[in-house]
């Protein structure tokens, strides 16, 4: 077992606290938790691509079980600490997993947000200096309620930012109605942790998608969703309008580091943008925003990709993450080491070989500095 004092910080690690699991148990559509006679653990069904297998399993007890097993890794804080100790992780910034509060009615989301954020705060309080959290916002509620929620979470001792999906108030993150929320978050010094959930429309995966398991929606749909969301933010001018806004992108920014050059080229070759006066010499490029307002997690599983992330944003802006409890080992004991974690630590060490200050920074130093994890 690795030492829990090695200074590794995990900023991409999720939980569904018990009250959120209870909500999912009562639901009839995704996100849903259901028991099936053909499986010992209850199943957690989250993604649009899993709906067909949910329907099949409800009709036929011989059918393949849908979703993933809802093990203690999803909802037990003791299990989180065990996982951290097993992988030498000293501190974690835990967040509610997708789809957060996106599916709740406006009449209930503010109260549920408060309850869940308080629950996260209490869980962190059980392990001071080891656990912090990104809060969830009730984005289906009124602007007034969302801003009250920001006020509430900024007062919670262990809160270090908010986790946000890409839907915003229903029209994406370039929606001007979100500007007051971005301004409130910037003013409260709460970074956004931007995380995908919706992927791409199922049709793009083709007729044979069922043969390929979760690979297409998770390996490609998730990162493209993030890339599109943050590019829309960039094009709409959000980053110029709210210069203090800080955003951490899941999965190393999706494909943003790889596509930033192409985005820039498309911008400067667009006649409409030129006519509208949006191509002034003084404009900030995607590269500027990547280096000034964007942080990237290191959940990318490859030294080649990690080098690109670190070069795009700066090695001082990339932060280790695990995506726990997703991607457990399939053939070894879940209480032992997870390959989905060791791939990422190995990628960081390889990508920063010979530059130990960068290795330490990405594994924990950056998160500690940016998210104030040495303060209690």
Give contact residues for ligand 5CU (rule: CB under 6 A): 46-47, 97-98, 214, 218, 323, 326
Tell me the three state secondary structure of residue 89.
Answer: strand
Q: Which is nearer to ligand 5CU, 69 or 88 (CB)?
A: 69
Least spacing, CB of residue 346 vs ligand 5CU, in Å: 20
Q: How far is the CB of 262 from ligand 5CU (least distance, A)?
A: 26
Q: Which residue is nearest to ligand 5CU (CB)?
A: 326
Cα atoms in the Cβ-side hemisphere of radius 13 Å centred on 334: 14
Nearest distance from C-beta of residue 99 to ligand 5CU, angstroms: 8
Instruction: List Cα–Cα distances, 334 to 218, 329, 341, in angstroms.
Output: 21, 6, 12
In the complex with ligand 5CU, the residue whose CB is nearer, 68 or 90, is 68
Exposure string over 56-84, b if 16+ CB within 10 A, otherwise e: ebeeeeeeebbbbebeebbbbbebbbebb
97 vs 373 by CB, closer to ligand 5CU: 97
Nearest to 99 by CA among 222, 281, 213, 232: 222
Query: Which CB sits closer to ligand 5CU, 145 or 323?
Result: 323
Taking the least distance from each CB to ligand 5CU, the nearer of 12 and 160 is 12
Q: Which run of H or E residues covers position 182?
A: helix 179-187
Number of H helices, E strands in the chain: 16, 11
| Least Cβ distance, residue 326 to ligand 5CU (angstroms) | 3
Cα 244 off chain centre by: 20
Nearest CA-CA partner of 314 in 333, 337, 296: 296
Nearest residue (CB) to ligand 5CU, 98 versus 359: 98
Tell me the closest approach of the beta carbon of residue 4 to ligand 5CU, in angstroms.
24
Q: CB of 325: closest distance to ligand 5CU in angstroms?
A: 9
């Amino acid at each position: 077992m690795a030492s829990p004092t090695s200074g590794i910080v995990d900023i991409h690690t999720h939980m569904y606290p018990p009250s959120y699991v209870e909500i999912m148990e009562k639901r009839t559509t995704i996100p849903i938790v259901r028991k099936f006679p053909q499986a010992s653990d209850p199943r957690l069904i989250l993604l649009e691509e899993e709906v067909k297998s949910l329907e099949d399993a409800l009709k036929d007890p011989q059918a393949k079980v849908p979703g993933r097993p809802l093990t203690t890794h999803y909802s037990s804080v003791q299990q989180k600490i065990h996982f951290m100790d097993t992988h030498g992780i000293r501190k974690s910034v835990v967040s509610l997993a997708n789809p957060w509060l996106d599916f709740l009615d406006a009449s209930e989301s503010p109260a549920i947000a408060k309850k869940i954020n308080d629950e996260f705060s209490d869980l962190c309080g059980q392990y001071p200096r080891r656990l912090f959290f990104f809060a969830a916002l009730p984005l289906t509620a009124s602007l007034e309620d969302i801003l009250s929620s920001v006020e509430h979470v900024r007062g919670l001792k262990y809160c270090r930012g908010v986790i946000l999906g890409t839907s915003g108030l229903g029209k994406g993150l370039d929606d001007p109605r979100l500007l007051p929320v971005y301004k409130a978050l910037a003013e409260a010094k709460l970074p956004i942790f931007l995380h995908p959930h919706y992927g791409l429309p199922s049709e793009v995966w083709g007729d044979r998608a069922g043969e390929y398991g979760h690979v297409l929606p998770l390996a490609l749909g998730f990162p493209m969703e993030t890339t599109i969301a943050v590019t829309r933010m960039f094009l709409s001018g959000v980053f110029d309008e709210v210069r203090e806004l800080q955003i951490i992108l899941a999965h190393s920014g999706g494909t943003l580091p790889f596509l930033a050059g192409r985005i820039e080229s498309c911008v400067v070759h667009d006649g409409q943008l030129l006519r509208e006066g949006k191509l002034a010499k003084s404009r900030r490029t995607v590269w500027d925003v990547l280096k000034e307002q964007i942080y990237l997690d290191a959940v990318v599983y490859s030294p080649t990709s990690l080098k690109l992330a670190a070069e795009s944003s700066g090695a001082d802006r990339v932060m280790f993450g695990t995506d726990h409890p997703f991607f457990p080992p399939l053939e070894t004991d879940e209480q032992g080491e997870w390959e989905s974690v060791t791939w990422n630590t190995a990628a960081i060490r390889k990508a920063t070989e010979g530059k130990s200050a960068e290795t330490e920074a990405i594994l924990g130093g950056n998160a500690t500095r940016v998210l104030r994890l040495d303060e209690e």
